[in-house]
Structures are given as C-alpha cells and as structure tokens.
Amino acid sequence: MFSNLDKVAVLLNEVAEQTILPRFQNLSEGDVSYKEGGETVTIADTETEELIEKRLVNLFPGSQVIGEEKVARSPGLLQKLDERELTWVIDPIDGTNNFARGRGIFKTMLALLYQGKTVAGWIFGPVHKDMLEARSGEGAFLNGKKLNITGAINSLDQSVGTLHGSEDQDPVIRKSLEKNRSKLNTVKTLRCAGADYERLATAKTQFALFTRLMPWDHLPGEIIHREAGGYGACLDRTAYNYSAYNKQGLLLASNEELWNEIHHRLIRP
C-alpha cells in the first residue's frame, strides 16, 4: 500500500517547479485574492493544490484528498472524511502572506492518514529545496539526514520558542497567554507553521504553542516533530489529530517534562 511513498518527495519538488516558483515574486494584481475571513490566497495556491491532488490520486488510486483551498470552498469536507480511506491532507503554500509579498519563507506541506492516524508527513521549502519528512516509527529526516532532538536543551530557562496567537483563539487561553507569556523566552514566529516546525525539529527552538489548529497546518509538522523525538499534545492533554481543529491549542516541546513545565507556566490561573 505504501510502496510508492518514496516518490512523494520528488512529486512535491516537481509540482513546485511547475506551479510555485514561476509565480514567486512574479504575481500580478489579479493573482491574489482573499477568502472568507480575509485570508490571502493566490493563483499558485489553487494551481498547486489541484496538481498535487491529481498526481497523488494517480500514484495512489482510490485515495481521498483534503486540501486547504478545497475546504475553503466546501467547509463540510472535513466532517465527511472517511477514516477507512487512505487520505492526503495538503497545504499547497503554507505562509501565503510571505509568498505573496515575495518573501522566501513558505512551505508546501503534506500528510498521509491511514485509518484516521497520521502515518507520514512532508514539509518542503521550494526556494532552498529543503525537505523534511517522516514516517511513523521510522524517524524524521531533513534532506536525508536523520533528526534527533532528544539530547537538545531541556531546561526551561535555556529554552526559546514561539507563541502563535490567532484572532479566533479561545478568550480564556488569550487571557492566560497575555498574563503569562513573559515567563517564557520567546522569539518571533516566521508566519509560516511549516518553517516554525522546521525550527522545532532541528532544535533551533524548543517549544511552540499554536491556537489555530487546522489539520493541513499541523499534521505534517506534528509527526515530523514526534519522530524527531519531540513531544506534543493539545492543551487538554489529548493527542492531536485531524479532527482536533476545535481544540483550544496545541503545545509542542522537546520532551514531555519540558511540555509539562511550559503548560504549567502558561495555562495556570
């Protein structure tokens, strides 16, 4: 069933060459629009998602595909996902605002679900050709080099990380973050979840909190971080999965002990 997975990284690179890079720093006024809610979308987002879907279905006949732009047009698709099917979850361009402004910090993100569980993930940077990938139980890799963050910094005082707020975040969580964020050493987000997951998986940062939990933003990064030796869970301490987009937040850290300490400092009354 998974015999063609080695071809996925090549597929993502080929699609980026065809639909993303020709548009990078080359968008016309009519190539940029806004979805309901004000999120930016470009012609490269829609073309990339459509081509990745077509290529994946050809490579894995019978699989179902959920993409960010597809769900934006048909919001009910997430609720109709059939866990019995092999399912691909696509974010064609994560960091669209960066892309639309000509900034090179953007990623193509892809996750594979089997029976509702994430079994593989890819985060690809078209500009620098950096490929993060992981398969369940097989480890995480950056450009073929295995990642291991288990021996990284685990002292909270030495740790740095990111806190990603969102306009629709839970007001109780917002209040806790405003009150307690000074208790942590934070750096600015890259405004691209995939790039921030890369920082986590390569131990450049030791923690991250996200409050917008759409599956295309987190399924690929969560499995890569986990397979690199990291620990993550929703703020209610349940595991993150594709249906957790209504949860209050997702916290990731280098290990469970650090996770617990950050959770205590951030979320306590």
**pLDDT tens-digit profile of 105-131?**
999 999 999 999 999 999 999 999 999
In angstroms, rounded to a whole number, what is the distance separating the alpha carbons of residues 268 and 184?
14
Instruction: Confirm whether residue 93 is marked as ligand binding.
Output: yes
In a domain, 64, yes or no: yes
Instruction: Confirm whether residue 170 is marked as ligand binding.
Output: no
In a domain, 68, yes or no: yes
Residue 139's nearest CA partner among 239, 205, 202, 229 is 229
Q: 3-class DSSP state for residue 131?
A: strand
HEC string of 159-205? CCEEEECCCCCCHHHHHHHHHHHHHCCECCCCCCHHHHHHHHHCCCC
In angstroms, rounded to a whole number, what is the distance separating the alpha carbons of residues 244 and 67?
16
What is the pLDDT, as a whole number, of residue 170? 77
What is the pLDDT, as a whole number, of residue 99? 98
Measured in whole angstroms, the distance separating CA 72 from the mean position of its chain's CA atoms is 17
Full residue range of the structural domain in which residue 234 is found: 156-267
In a domain, 12, yes or no: yes
pLDDT at 163 over 90: yes
Share of residues in the chain with pLDDT > 70 (%): 97
Chain mean pLDDT for the chain: 93
In a domain, 151, yes or no: no
Share of residues in the chain with pLDDT > 90 (%): 80
Residues 68 and 135 occupy one common structural domain? yes
In angstroms, rounded to a whole number, what is the distance separating the alpha carbons of residues 212 and 47?
24
In angstroms, rounded to a whole number, what is the distance separating the alpha carbons of residues 214 and 254?
22
98 DSSP 8-state letter: H
Given 86, 111, 146, the domain boundary residue is: 146
Q: 3-class DSSP state for residue 228?
A: coil
pTM score over 0.85: yes
Instruction: Confirm whether residue 94 is marked as ligand binding.
Output: yes
**Mean local confidence (pLDDT), 146-150:** 95
How many domains does the chain fold into?
Answer: 2
